[in-house]
Amino acid sequence: MEPLSPALGNYRAFYQKMTHLENVISVLHWDSETQLPPGGQEERGQQLALLTTLLHNWKTGEEFETLIERAKEEASLLNGSKKGQWDREFFLLDETREKAKKIPSEFVSEKTELTNASQAIWAKAKKANDFPSFQPYLETLVNFAKREADYLGFKEEPYNALLDLYEKGAKGRTISDLFQALKIEIVPMIESARQFDSPFKGPVSILAQEKFCRRIPLWLGLHSDVSRLDKSNHPFSTSLGKKDKRITTRYSETDPLSSIFGVLHETGHSLYELGLSEREDSPSPVSEFLSLGIHESQSRLWENQVGRSVSFWEYAYPFLLEDFDLKESELPFGKFIQYVNSTQKSKIRVEADQLTYNLHIILRFELERPLVNGEIQVKDLPGLWKEKMKEYLGMEVRNDSEGVLQDIHWSMGAFGYFPTYTLGNIYSSQFFSAFLKENPTYTSNLAKTGDHTTLLSWLKKNLHHKGREKEVEDLIQSVTGEKPNHSHLIAYLKNKQQELKSL
């Protein structure tokens, strides 16, 4: 990369400084979820509030603004594609800073302390099945969400302001229409889908699962010199630097697939972040992830289109038997594949199969949207959750730990996040369909060699290395030849059901 002119270089140096601070904040969050002793939680909240407020002030402050204006002057003297690249960068930067400027520093600090405390209370409440202990915190979090929406401004409904933070331009109304269309397609498929019992005859030790799970990131292309795998209450991934990607999973001796697919999912996220970090202009506004829907498309693609395929397991199955200390007669391949792809109705979202998963997301969307818009109250959530779970999946929720308390997102103040999971499912199916058209021998080669290089290279070229050069719809159009289209997801799910009938 050729040297930058003085003003552009000074601007990028300040951006680098902000990125370093952002990564330090991420280290503290990662530590909070994996290593922090309970006694350190309160002080950690104060640390995070201090650093988050400092970052906010840097981002919105006069020093950075002066550097930006000088950099813009120099960029205006450039010609052709170089000028276009800088125009895009400054457009994205201005957009982000305008949003940040609308939020007072005091609010940022208060929210950070609140969410840090709320996550700790949520974890205890979930373990104890004690929603009343979490309810006052959740009520405060909802009020903060409403305040944030007011600060940001919105059209039609407050929820739109929060949606926009995760998926730019998304609207509650259009998401609702999309989800209704999906429900019409998916519910009949669930009724006719086959359910297969677990082929595991007994518990699988966490040590055995860890041994197998550590193979997965390496297979997919996420190597141990730039990543690590740890345990947490809720699986997540985070980027702590260009070559420091962290993933976590959780383990259940009675359900070893939970940890395996958690690692597949989170590795997909980290591969995307690693690809973004490989851009020459990283860190910059253009080298950041495009949207959470696109982010989720990368995790869901590796989890479902790859991780639930027969080809993937034809290669991985012998290693699974070895690490789990099982014979093929104890875990027949056909029965294992059936179970991996079984439509197994579950009350728990992260353990849901790929067909019913979207109903879990729709349920959450249909609760958080009216919650933020003031149409229902926090005290209504447990009952409404149970009603919708009964309506959509025919399941009785026995307690709030397997109901309204199961997810960490609301304790983080992440209202508007959930819809991006289903958007990710839609995008991933569309991307994978386009990839297979260009690479028809991928699946047969995968079964023989376990080599994912072709797929990862395609994703890097078409998505990861593109960063935020285009808006979401334009990127999808350029990669697949059409706008976002949920028909690819429906086709994938129907094909999967046909595949299972032949096993």
Question: Which active-site residues does the annotation give?
Answer: 266
Give CA–CA dist 18/12, Å, rounded.
10
Q: What tokens does 386 get?
A: 């149970």
Q: What tokens does 156 get?
A: 């039609």
Burial group, residue 221, by CB count within 10 angstroms (0-12, 13-18, 19+): buried
231 φ, ψ (degrees, to nearest 5): -100, 145
Is it true that the peptide bond before 283 is cis, omega within 30 degrees of 0? yes
- 354 three-class SS: coil
- 484 near 473, Cβ under 8 Å? yes
- For the four alpha carbons of 48, 52, 53 and 58, in that order, the dihedral sign comes to positive
- 134 near 401, Cβ under 8 Å? no
Give CA–CA dist 315/304, Å, rounded.
16
Burial group, residue 15, by CB count within 10 angstroms (0-12, 13-18, 19+): buried
Task: Give per-residue burial for 75-95: e unless 16+ CB within 10 Å, then b.
Answer: beeeeeeeeebbebbbebbee
227 φ, ψ (degrees, to nearest 5): -155, 170
Of the candidates 241, 404, 220, the one whose C-alpha atom is nearest the C-alpha of residue 312 is: 220
C-alpha atoms less than 13 angstroms from C-alpha of 261 in its C-beta half-sphere: 23
Unique residue bearing structure tokens 């407020």:
53
Give CA–CA dist 295/419, Å, rounded.
12
Residues counted in the chain: 503
Amino acid identity, residue 283? Answer: P
